[in-house]
A and B are shown apart, each in its own frame.
Chain A
Amino acid sequence: MTGTFTPAPGAAPLPRMVLTQARMESRLMLRNGEQLLLAVVIPVIVLVGMVRGAGRLGLDYDHPVVDVVTPGVLALAVMSTAFTSLAIATAFERRYGVLKRLGASPLPRSGLLLGKVGALLLVELLQLVVLSVAGQLLGWDPLVSASSLAGAALAVLLGTAAFAALGLLMAGALRAEATLAGANLVYLLLLAAGAVVLPASAYGGFGHVAQWLPSGALGEAMRDALVDGTVAWRDLVVLLGWAVLGTAATTRTFSWE
């Protein structure tokens, strides 16, 4: 005799759980107005502003401005999603007991993290498509070769890992409001002074410091790949270092509630 509620417990297969989690998180990210602003609108404004206002801004490079700025804006998009959006979303998941509730579900923590990574990569893919089309409309002519694509892909992956680790570090330690303010502030500071959109050489002496920041390393690696067609090993190692450092700190400090 079986009734409606007769127990039939069991976890879904891990890949299905991860996919479900990634789909849900990316959908929520894209539904959120502020996050969409960060993900697409601001990078497009920066791209158009820099390219159109290059003369007035005094931007002058060996390559057309759009070719230099577009890889930087792609780096900015990765930073906005992997760091700012992830930090804010995770902080509010802690606040509203979402992480706690999922902690009692069949989804293991590793599955939750994989789901988050999947959601980040999905949103980043959409951003890269939109921003690449915007760049093309402004005359972007990237160098496309095996090594340029490999360099860009490695930069996006390692940049995502580094920024996501730092975003989770912030979200797991601070209150939701503090994370909201802090993640936006860090984003603005790195946008202005972090050598992400413009090359480190544009910042004079500070450029040497900026190269060691995850923002500078990601920006430089994207430019090296898409402007010169080279894999920027030094910058990739810097990103890897931030990812390792951030992960180590996060696993020590992250509180799920």
Chain B
Amino acid sequence: MSEPAVVVDGLVMQYAATTAVDHLSLTVDRGTITAVLGPNGAGKTTTLETCEGYRAPQQGTVRVLGLDPRRQARELLPRIGVMLQEGGAWSGARAPEMLRHVAALHAHPLDPGLLEERLGLADCGRTPYRRLSGGQKQRLGLAMALVGRPEVVFVDEPTAGLDPAARHTVWELFAELRADGVTVVLTTHYMEEAERLSDRIHIIDRGRLIASGTPLELTRGGALSTIRLVVTKPFPPEAPVSLKTALGPEIEVVQLDELTLIVTGPADASTLAKVSRWCEDNAVLPESLTLGTRNLEDVFLELTGRELLP
């Protein structure tokens, strides 16, 4: 697969005073599941909507399957599937009717009945769209994105509002899409979703790409651990440096806020003991001291100094 499915190069998008996307460049390889991970308002949806042709890039270029989503929309649109974050169906339409409508706009659609069965939509029956549950609406949106047998699907927060069982069904479906050669581009703010599901993750924050890699690369294979130290009184200003000196050069120390320090590295129980001793020596009273495997949440935290989930 030579040509990438998506190439975003130097994209800038501004609304009024805010910069939603700030010189963003990323690539999505064909046949992968690629997650665009970031907190709400990071610019994920704007980026996706530029790929889908809804918005023209103000600066930079976007290519999907080698095509310009604005100028070559007629050529591109039949080849992609789009799931919006919400809505997208007539309030009075029934789920099977809506899915068959979208199917009929394509040349070789999937059997709508099959998708209904796979996504648990069979029991929506004659209920109009406006009375479907949030989860049913999400699953219908996903079915509508897939029914045209696209090469690339763009799914915006596909599992928001789904219960755990439905979320796993969707994850399995994505894995099957990848196995059949479909490229899946998804946005999410669930790090577990990105970590478990995707081949590649682009972490964006405030419209900028701050990290890209496979889940293993980003978390360094879980070989690293994280110690989170929360104290009762604000740290003295020199605390991060002093703690790093105490722990050695392989250890990273990041101050999250005035009461929290994050220690990352090949940390184990002995590191924990050293942190504890440092607290004693510096008259710092820990409220909690927790050791965990480094995950995407920690990666995000290190890179931005902020939590991924509010």
What residues of chain A have their CB less than 8 Å away from a CB belonging to chain B?
2-12, 16-17, 20-21, 24, 28, 31-32, 92-93, 96-98, 100-101, 103-108, 257
Docked CA distance A20–B103 (Å): 10
Give, as a whole number of angstroms, the nearest-CB distance from B85 to chain A.
Answer: 9
| Given A3-B176, A6-B149, A104-B53; A12-B104 close (CB under 8 Å) | yes
Give, as a whole number of angstroms, the nearest-CB distance from A184 to chain B.
Answer: 18
A-side binding surface: helix, strand, loop or mixed?
A: loop
Docked CA distance A17–B54 (Å): 21
B250 at the interface (CB under 8 A from A): no
Chain B residues touching A, range: 35 or more
Contact B107 A7 (CB under 8 A): no
Contact B108 A10 (CB under 8 A): yes
| Given A10-B107, A24-B101, A101-B89; A5-B54 close (CB under 8 Å) | no
Give, as a whole number of angstroms, the nearest-CB distance from A92 to chain B.
Answer: 6
Give, as a whole number of angstroms, the nearest-CB distance from B178 to chain A.
Answer: 9
| Given A32-B92, A106-B105; A101-B144 close (CB under 8 Å) | yes
Q: Which residues of A contact B86 (CB under 8 A)?
A: 97
What residues of chain B have their CB less than 8 Å away from a CB belonging to chain A?
52-54, 74, 77-80, 82, 84, 86-93, 97, 101-102, 104-108, 110, 114, 144, 146, 148-151, 176-177, 179-182
Q: A7-B180, A7-B182 are in contact. List 13 more A-B contacts (CB 8 A).
A: A4-B110, A4-B114, A6-B182, A7-B79, A10-B108, A20-B101, A28-B92, A32-B92, A93-B90, A96-B87, A98-B87, A103-B54, A104-B77
Give, as a whole number of angstroms, the nearest-CB distance from A204 to chain B.
Answer: 43
* Residue from A2, A4, A20, A257 within 8 A of B104 (CB atoms): A20
Give, as a whole number of angstroms, the nearest-CB distance from A122 to chain B.
Answer: 16
Docked CA distance A8–B182 (Å): 10
Residue of A nearest to B111 (CB): A4
Docked CA distance A155–B149 (Å): 44
Contact A5 B79 (CB under 8 A): no
* Residue from A9, A12, A16, A28 within 8 A of B93 (CB atoms): A28
Contact B88 A4 (CB under 8 A): no
Contact B107 A12 (CB under 8 A): yes
Residue of B nearest to A93 (CB): B90
Give, as a whole number of angstroms, the nearest-CB distance from A105 to chain B.
Answer: 5
B-side binding surface: helix, strand, loop or mixed?
A: loop
Contact B107 A104 (CB under 8 A): no
Q: Which residues of B contact A12 (CB under 8 A)?
A: 104-107
Docked CA distance A31–B181 (Å): 40
Docked CA distance A147–B149 (Å): 51
* Residue from B53, B88, B179 within 8 A of A97 (CB atoms): B88
3 shortest interchain CB distances as A-B pairs = A10-B107, A97-B87, A101-B88
Contact A3 B180 (CB under 8 A): yes
| Given A93-B90, A97-B86, A101-B87; A7-B150 close (CB under 8 Å) | yes
Contact B151 A9 (CB under 8 A): yes
Give, as a whole number of angstroms, the nearest-CB distance from A1 to chain B.
Answer: 9
| Given A7-B181, A10-B108, A93-B90; A101-B176 close (CB under 8 Å) | no
| Given A8-B149, A9-B151, A28-B93; A101-B82 close (CB under 8 Å) | yes
Contact A96 B89 (CB under 8 A): yes
* Residue from A9, A17, A93 within 8 A of B149 (CB atoms): A9
Contact B54 A9 (CB under 8 A): no
Docked CA distance A192–B105 (Å): 42
Contact B87 A7 (CB under 8 A): no
Residue of B nearest to A92 (CB): B91
| Given A11-B78, A101-B144, A105-B102; A5-B110 close (CB under 8 Å) | yes
Contact B148 A9 (CB under 8 A): yes
Contact A4 B52 (CB under 8 A): no
Docked CA distance A255–B110 (Å): 32
Docked CA distance A98–B102 (Å): 11
Contact A106 B106 (CB under 8 A): yes
Docked CA distance A93–B91 (Å): 8
Contact B88 A8 (CB under 8 A): no
Q: Which residues of A contact B148 (CB under 8 A)?
A: 9-10, 105-106
Q: Which residues of B contact A5 (CB under 8 A)?
A: 110, 146, 149, 176-177, 180-182
Q: Which residues of B contact A9 (CB under 8 A)?
A: 78-80, 106-108, 148-151
Docked CA distance A106–B79 (Å): 9
Give, as a whole number of angstroms, the nearest-CB distance from B246 to chain A.
Answer: 54
| Given A5-B182, A6-B180, A10-B78; A100-B87 close (CB under 8 Å) | yes
Q: Which of A5, A12, A100 has the most CB of B within 10 A?
A: A5
Q: Which residues of A contact B54 (CB under 8 A)?
A: 100, 103-104, 257
Q: Which of A20, A101, A257 has the most CB of B within 10 A?
A: A101
